[in-house]
Amino acid sequence: YKQAIRINPDYAKAHYNLGVSYGELGQWEKEIEAYKQAIRIQPDYAEAHYNLGVSYGKLGQREKAIEAFKQAIRINPDYAETHYNLGVSYGKLGQWEKAIEAFKQAIRINPDYAKAHYNLGVSYGELGQREKEIEAYKQAIRIQPDYAEAHYNLGVSYLVLDKKGDALDIYKILKNLDNGLANKFFDLIYQ
């Protein structure tokens, strides 16, 4: 890609691909600079904005990640993964209402996005909205029946609501999915 950039320094795709390569090597700062250069050349490059947001997220720079994701959404509002990552970034900042809206938008675009349903449940849980939390986890499980973390969190939600019978049912399911999580959950039930 460096050769392509030497030949044509205004080729945004080459800078983008260089950024991807730096990311695969774990060179986050160089990755960010390559994406920024691609965006300077081609400001409406949605994928570069998206990957820039992911890169900022890797470095814990949530506000910058949010801005990059918002730019990607402005250019291409129909990419569920961008809305999802925007929600994750808001969640990392404890901005649960904004996270919920972002996850809901990801789900509107892709109704079978199990991770978005799961993180929607996490967000509702952080706000103490247990029934919505439970429904979101159930949706994640409906889409991906072997989603052990969703089963675990659903079980924890049942425990919070003092629904021990439902929690025990989850424990039985977890035993078949992830023994480590099942044991952790068992300890929660009987603590």
Please give the pLDDT value at position 3.
60
CB 136 within 8 A of CB 125: no
Closest by alpha carbon to 13, among 1, 21, 27? 1
Q: What is the 3-state secondary structure (H, E, C) of 83-138?
A: HHHHHHHHHHCCCHHHHHHHHHHHHHHCCCCHHHHHHHHHHHHHCCCHHHHHHHHH
For the stretch 109-151, pLDDT in tens is 999 999 999 999 999 999 999 999 999 999 999 999 999 999 9
DSSP H stretches of helix in the chain: 2-7, 12-24, 28-41, 46-58, 62-75, 80-92, 96-109, 114-126, 130-143, 148-160, 164-177, 179-189
Domains of the chain: 1-77 (1.25.40.10)
Q: Spell out, as residue ranges, where the chain has pLDDT lower than 50.
A: none
Query: What does pTM read for this prediction?
Result: 0.91
Please give the pLDDT value at position 8.
59
Calpha distance 65→71 (Å, rounded): 10
Neighbours of 165 (CB within 10 A): 7
Please give the pLDDT value at position 7.
53
